[in-house]
Chain A
Amino acid sequence: MAIRFYLILVVFLLSAIVSFSLYEDQVGLMDWHQRYIGKVKHAVFHTQKTGRKRVIVSTEENVVASLDLRHGEIFWRHVLGTNDAIDGVDIALGKYVITLSSEGSLLRAWNLPDGQMVWETSLHSAQHSKSLLSVPINLKVDKDYPILVFGGGYLHAVSPIDGEVLWKKDFTAEGFEVQRVLQPLESSIIYVLGFLHSSEAVVYQIDSKSGDVVAEKSMAFPGGFSGEISSVSNDKVVVLDSTRSILVAISFVDGGISFQKTHISDLVEDSGKAEILSPLLSNMLAVKVNKRTIFVRVGGEGKLELVDSLSDETAMSDSLPVADDQVAFASVHHEGSKIHLMVKLVDDLDTVLLRESIQMDQHRGRVHKVFINNYIKTDRSNGFRALIVMEDHSLLLLQQGAIVWSREEGLASVTDVTTAELPVEKDGVSVAQVEHTLVDWLKGHVLKLKGSLLLASPEDVVAIQEMRMKSSGRSKLTRDHNGFRKLFIALTRAGKLFALHTGDGSIVWSVLLNSPACARPSGISLYQWQVPHHHAMDENPSVLVVGRCGSDSSAPGVLSFVDVYTGKEISSSDIGHSVVQVMPLPFTDSTEQRLHLIADTNGHVHLYPKTSEALSIFQREFQNVYWYNVEADNGIIRGQGMKSTCSDETADEYCFTTRELWTVVFPSESEKIISTLTRKPNEVVHTQAKVSTDQDVLYKYVSRNLLFVATVSPKGAGEIGSVTPEESALVVYLIDTITGRILHRLSHQGCQGPVHAVFSENWVVYHYFNLRAHKYEVTVVEIYDQSRAENKNVWKLVLGKHNLTAPISSYSRPEMFTKSQSYFFPQSVKTIAVTSTAKGITSKQLLIGTIGDQILALDKRFVDPRRTLNPSQAEKEEGIIPLTDSLPIIPQSYITHALKVEGLRGIVTAPAKLESTTHVFAYGVDLFYTRLAPSKTYDSLTDDFSYALLLITIVALVAAIYITWVLSEKKELSEKWR
């Protein structure tokens, strides 16, 4: 019996040694992945049979995608490179999606059903110009009309079947800009209308087979054109003249050109500068004048007449042919919390085909774009559905007066991320209520037990997997003991703030920023404003969003405070000065609000929050506040100290002047700043000393005031390979930002940027390209403090003669040394981050965002400058890896496993409460989150741990003890009776 107990115990112990690597069935347990496409620029509906359910979109994130019209899911999607902006998208031959990108120099065809690339043609381009894509509406497949592309000064005719360039016409010499290409059906002549030096309209008649110019006609327009153009019909365009007050209708039918001028003031009274709006309406154009949108009908001879006028908040779609040769268009305008969608006939604006009102979340802002599509309803009448793009970049499909689906595409352009805690669990909510009943709980564990003992049937396995996926309370909205549940607050380019739950990636709340000064400030950055703990537990945490009204850096700034628990904007203030730099200070007031300094363009700094308490805290530390600014264009880094309060009359007591304390001037002819980096201000360093194998102690030089700067030769600032190794050098610096001392300076001859770096504790790891070796390299620099090396003597420590507790002044001459080592790295890198844990005890991993949009976790041990070719036994035991010339890429260490974070731009790490674990959030076009344990979860049992087995074992043991006790009692009794 005892043997059996022990055996059970041994079995139990063995089962407790869990495996740590990620298995297939563990995917999605801790991580989530969300796919986005970005703000839609253009949408093309497919009108033929199978394609009816789909819409092709191109976006500002350079994505071309096919979406399901019923559910909004992505059928397929391609993310083009960051420099490969899509200019036009269309459907050719009924089966290919044609995209034109990179200013008209790349033409690609994608297979409509599955998104496979069919062909790609690189078109010759000589200069920057606007590009134009003209895909013929091909009704008869047998006739082969070419795709006409204008871009970079050339007009190309490309066969839609295989992408072959049929002919090209060079317009570079004349400076001719093509504005309109017309391919009449049943004709081999192509009409090309363009402007010469914006003052002369030229029409070329080109043979569509050979590309020869058949005829050419030109006519000068004395006023000059402004470049804004609208095609109103096949043979007519309307342009604005250079003064933006005259509309010129140009008709170019049969090779002749005629102008018809109409003053806008004749159409509307007191007209200002006009602007032609983009919607293409047949025989009509929309012009924005005086904050109103007017519709102008173009008559047969180019006569213009005003037909309607609307407020400029109205968004309009292109016109769409509906039955009986009629053309309709959609317009959407706001009214209170509702939006009104109207579909009207172009010829008769009084005929409203569809009028719908839809309740709209006000945090989506205004409607930016509308695309309409018609379908045949079950009663054989015409139905319309509209795809609308909102101000927060979200994409919605409206049909039958309801929002069929919506996509939060704002999340494809995240600019800044911070973390926030969830509220503490209230007393009312008991754990049992959330985590089922005890019976369910036990059942679940019995299932798990079966699974771990390999007794589970296939159905059981499915049940186990399902159970794990919705694992108890994973997406609860309260704080958990381990700190696994958190919020990631993401600021998007549209100025919208999202709170994402780490459990399942769901949006907890979202808020579109408002400002009293301007309608929509653009968000710049995000800071943790108030993180209550200790004495201010009643306060809700809040974040600070710094934005500005307008794109210019001198535009007035806007501060917005958002409550993290509720997602409500607490306050929003127009601060009346510009924002150049925001500096969180290491001081908080009694309500745990962090003090921030904001520098403006005049060289003044402003203290926030504007309270007397904050001011008194700041005055106390006034002498010890320093800051620096990097002027990357001039190659100067300036260090500043506080001087006095502002003397201007307009300024308040929270405004301070600064003085220049130090400068570092990089010679403009030999060095150009390409990268600067500091440590994360909230990073925790567990130990200041590092014990090496020979019982020697190295003290880390841990300073918050270090700045890493990388410069390259101006010639080498371009693309990799654009210079010879002799011409390019990369120099890296470590600068103390209090005194401006250069602590470390290392030049890499024959190397080139871009430099991606990560700075943590006392080390920097940076990635660059070595032109001589034709490889990427990674260099690590570790900084050690020499001044405290004397403290190694134990007796000194015992007698208290050490200087470990002495305050460290930046003005003392630093005695430090650096250790550095370089390795080849086989991949190009997009971004690098490092894991961070609550106490900094767990070893670190570098998180490398590779060019393939995956994230590789590389142990810091691989980039240790103490690695040698033949480590001694002692060094090996310490964990020093033998030196190799390149860093290994272990396929299992991709934390994104099979997924891709398309368009990866940044990786954010945040510590969980559990020391071993860190949160990793990666953003790009896609979002990805996972939890990492760089040194395995040494401080907790895994989710797989079978509590039921433990419980059963204990119960069995207790029962056995009882039984044996009874039996032995009996035996003793019987012995005594003998």
Chain B
Amino acid sequence: MAKLTLFIFFLSSLLIISSSLAFQSDELLVDDDEFGLEGAKPQSTPLHTSSPQPQQTPTFRKRYSDLDLDSKVQFTLEHAFGDSGFSPAGTFSARLKSWSHGGKTLTKLRFSRNGFSDEEKDSFKNLLKGDDFYRIRLPSSVISPPGKEFVVASVRARCLPRDGLDEHFVIHMEGANILAVSYGSLGACQYPRQFKLPAKWSFNSHTILKSSEQAPRTPIFTEEILGGENAEGEVEPPPERSFWAKYWMYLIPLGLVVMNAVTQAANVAEGPTGGQAGGSQVQQSARRR
């Protein structure tokens, strides 16, 4: 709970800072560091994921690397209401960094969102009424937009309105290509989706760039270490198991046998004439009890 309040405070402070703009673009400066592991970081370390907003952390990291090989790219976000056609809704701009080994990565992604026109507001209201889909798309290649294919994502319109309209982009990159975009609201979307109009018709946009996470190399253990470990592990006796824990299965039958022997002996002592078999004595005593 404390985390959440902290986060809300953090978010609202962010909003205050940029509230002077009409259409605020809460852009996230995600700096892919030299090895392109940025998106991967929070996933690989459970510590990060435990916080509700792990992606926020890299925002304020400064980068000092030279940007000699950079070039600016722009690509447009398009949206559609239900089954309508796509129309421009905003612009992403970023630096395209070319690496000496031929790879290209996007850095410094900025996003400016166009506000809804009145017409668009009406269509969005219709979507909210019908619990229909609000769809967005991005070109699959940022170098030569629009490219051959578009990356489409959609969300039930009722998931977006909070205070304003919360939107959250996760753009999965592979070099200069956009592989997929995840689009939705920041938090949860309760299932029986309630019809609710946004208080403010402005977007809170959050954007994250994600590139592929490298699999860790399979560890190779040398035979000696392994053998040593194993041998040691096997030799080591389990210390905390008590005598009883180890041998109960032998002790209980033994106890029973002893008990029987004792009762039998008692019976024999009891009846001095004792002309009959021991077994009958046991049964007799058992019956009496």
By a beta-carbon cutoff of 8 Å, the part of chain A in contact with chain B is 1-3, 6, 10, 623, 636, 641, 643, 659-667, 670-671, 731, 735, 739-742, 744-749, 770, 773, 777, 779, 786-787, 789, 806-809, 811-813, 815, 817-818, 820, 822-824, 869-870, 882-885, 960-961, 964-965, 967-968, 971-972
Asked, given contacts A3-B261, A812-B188, A813-B168, whether A885 binds B133 with beta carbons under 8 Å apart, the answer is no
Check B154–A662 contact: CB distance below 8 A.
yes
Nearest CB of chain A from residue B287's CB, rounded to whole Å: 7
A6 CB contact (under 8 Å) in B50, B156, B189, B256: B256
Check B184–A961 contact: CB distance below 8 A.
no
The interface residues of chain A lying within 8 Å CB-to-CB of B174 are 666-667, 670-671
The interface residues of chain A lying within 8 Å CB-to-CB of B150 are 663, 665
- Mask: chain B, 212-230; 1 = CB below 8 Å from A; 0 = not: 1111111111000010011
Check A745–B133 contact: CB distance below 8 A.
no
CA distance A968 to B282 in the complex (A): 10
The interface residues of chain B lying within 8 Å CB-to-CB of A740 are 152-153, 180, 182
Check A6–B49 contact: CB distance below 8 A.
no
| Residue of A2, A641, A822 with most partner-chain B CB within 10 A | A2
Check A739–B188 contact: CB distance below 8 A.
no
Check A661–B154 contact: CB distance below 8 A.
yes
Nearest B residue (CB) for A789 = B50
Nearest CB of chain A from residue B161's CB, rounded to whole Å: 13
- Mask: chain B, 47-65; 1 = CB below 8 Å from A; 0 = not: 0011010000000000000
CA distance A972 to B187 in the complex (A): 85
The interface residues of chain A lying within 8 Å CB-to-CB of B189 are 809, 811-812
Which 3 pairs, one residue from A and one from B, show the smallest C-beta to C-beta distance? Answer: A1-B279, A807-B191, A667-B177
CA distance A419 to B50 in the complex (A): 43
Nearest CB of chain A from residue B151's CB, rounded to whole Å: 5
Check A811–B184 contact: CB distance below 8 A.
yes
Chain B residues 161 to 216 lying within 8 A of chain A, measured CB to CB, are 168, 170, 172, 174-175, 177-180, 182, 184-193, 210, 212-216
Check A968–B287 contact: CB distance below 8 A.
yes
Check A745–B210 contact: CB distance below 8 A.
yes
Check A665–B188 contact: CB distance below 8 A.
no
The interface residues of chain B lying within 8 Å CB-to-CB of A735 are 180
Check B133–A641 contact: CB distance below 8 A.
yes
Check A661–B133 contact: CB distance below 8 A.
yes
Asked, given contacts A6-B256, A869-B229, whether A667 binds B140 with beta carbons under 8 Å apart, the answer is yes
18 further A-B pairs in the complex, CB-CB below 8 A; given A663-B152, A870-B229: A2-B282, A661-B152, A662-B152, A664-B179, A665-B151, A670-B175, A741-B170, A742-B210, A746-B213, A747-B213, A777-B218, A809-B188, A813-B184, A820-B215, A822-B218, A885-B219, A965-B283, A971-B276
Chain B residues 261 to 289 lying within 8 A of chain A, measured CB to CB, are 261, 264, 276-280, 282-284, 287
The interface residues of chain B lying within 8 Å CB-to-CB of A789 are 50
Asked, given contacts A670-B174, A807-B191, A818-B43, whether A747 binds B215 with beta carbons under 8 Å apart, the answer is yes
| Residue of A641, A659, A770 with most partner-chain B CB within 10 A | A659
Asked, given contacts A663-B150, A664-B179, A665-B151, whether A773 binds B229 with beta carbons under 8 Å apart, the answer is no
Asked, given contacts A667-B141, A811-B189, A967-B277, whether A961 binds B283 with beta carbons under 8 Å apart, the answer is yes
- Mask: chain B, 141-152; 1 = CB below 8 Å from A; 0 = not: 100000001111
Chain B residues 222 to 246 lying within 8 A of chain A, measured CB to CB, are 226, 229-230, 233
B46, CB-defined interface residue at 8 Å: yes
Asked, given contacts A882-B230, A885-B218, whether A742 binds B280 with beta carbons under 8 Å apart, the answer is no
B83, CB-defined interface residue at 8 Å: yes
Check A1–B155 contact: CB distance below 8 A.
no
CA distance A747 to B131 in the complex (A): 37
B29, CB-defined interface residue at 8 Å: no
The interface residues of chain B lying within 8 Å CB-to-CB of A2 are 260, 264, 278-279, 282-283
B135, CB-defined interface residue at 8 Å: yes
Asked, given contacts A623-B131, A746-B213, whether A811 binds B278 with beta carbons under 8 Å apart, the answer is no
Nearest A residue (CB) for B283 = A964
Check A745–B212 contact: CB distance below 8 A.
yes
The interface residues of chain B lying within 8 Å CB-to-CB of A885 are 218-221, 226
Check B153–A972 contact: CB distance below 8 A.
no
The interface residues of chain A lying within 8 Å CB-to-CB of B179 are 664-667, 742
The interface residues of chain A lying within 8 Å CB-to-CB of B168 are 813
Asked, given contacts A964-B280, A971-B284, whether A661 binds B135 with beta carbons under 8 Å apart, the answer is yes
CA distance A807 to B191 in the complex (A): 6
- Mask: chain B, 66-105; 1 = CB below 8 Å from A; 0 = not: 0000000000000000010000000000000000000000
User: How big is the B interface, by class?
Assistant: 35 or more
CA distance A770 to B276 in the complex (A): 81
Q: List 17 A-B contacts (CB under 8 A).
A: A6-B253, A641-B133, A661-B154, A663-B149, A665-B178, A671-B174, A741-B170, A741-B180, A745-B213, A746-B214, A779-B215, A786-B50, A813-B186, A815-B49, A884-B221, A884-B226, A968-B284
Check A742–B253 contact: CB distance below 8 A.
no
Asked, given contacts A664-B151, A665-B151, whether A824 binds B283 with beta carbons under 8 Å apart, the answer is no
B257, CB-defined interface residue at 8 Å: yes
Check B277–A741 contact: CB distance below 8 A.
no
CA distance A807 to B284 in the complex (A): 66
CA distance A811 to B188 in the complex (A): 7
| Residue of B140, B153, B218 with most partner-chain A CB within 10 A | B218
The interface residues of chain A lying within 8 Å CB-to-CB of B159 are 809, 811-812
Nearest CB of chain A from residue B284's CB, rounded to whole Å: 4
Check A971–B49 contact: CB distance below 8 A.
no
Nearest B residue (CB) for A9 = B253
Check A742–B172 contact: CB distance below 8 A.
yes
The interface residues of chain A lying within 8 Å CB-to-CB of B175 are 667, 670
Nearest A residue (CB) for B276 = A971
Check A882–B49 contact: CB distance below 8 A.
no
| Residue of A623, A665, A773, A971 with most partner-chain B CB within 10 A | A665
Check A815–B253 contact: CB distance below 8 A.
no
CA distance A786 to B53 in the complex (A): 12
The interface residues of chain B lying within 8 Å CB-to-CB of A744 are 43
Check A787–B230 contact: CB distance below 8 A.
no
CA distance A823 to B174 in the complex (A): 26
Nearest CB of chain A from residue B54's CB, rounded to whole Å: 9
Nearest CB of chain A from residue B182's CB, rounded to whole Å: 4
B191 CB contact (under 8 Å) in A636, A806, A823, A972: A806
CA distance A813 to B170 in the complex (A): 11
The interface residues of chain A lying within 8 Å CB-to-CB of B172 are 742, 745
Check B187–A809 contact: CB distance below 8 A.
no
CA distance A331 to B27 in the complex (A): 80
Nearest CB of chain B from residue A971's CB, rounded to whole Å: 6
CA distance A261 to B168 in the complex (A): 77
Nearest CB of chain A from residue B238's CB, rounded to whole Å: 8
The interface residues of chain B lying within 8 Å CB-to-CB of A670 are 174-175, 177
The interface residues of chain B lying within 8 Å CB-to-CB of A823 are 218
| Residue of A10, A747, A789, A806 with most partner-chain B CB within 10 A | A747
CA distance A820 to B260 in the complex (A): 58
The interface residues of chain A lying within 8 Å CB-to-CB of B187 are 812-813
Nearest A residue (CB) for B274 = A971
The interface residues of chain A lying within 8 Å CB-to-CB of B220 are 773, 885
Check A665–B191 contact: CB distance below 8 A.
no
Asked, given contacts A6-B257, A740-B182, A747-B214, whether A813 binds B188 with beta carbons under 8 Å apart, the answer is yes
CA distance A623 to B156 in the complex (A): 11
Nearest CB of chain A from residue B63's CB, rounded to whole Å: 23
Nearest A residue (CB) for B149 = A665
A809 CB contact (under 8 Å) in B182, B191, B216, B217: B191
CA distance A815 to B187 in the complex (A): 10
The interface residues of chain A lying within 8 Å CB-to-CB of B221 are 869, 884-885
CA distance A882 to B170 in the complex (A): 37
B43 CB contact (under 8 Å) in A664, A817, A870, A971: A817
The interface residues of chain B lying within 8 Å CB-to-CB of A811 are 155-156, 159, 184-185, 189
CA distance A972 to B288 in the complex (A): 11
The interface residues of chain A lying within 8 Å CB-to-CB of B210 are 742, 745
CA distance A824 to B186 in the complex (A): 40
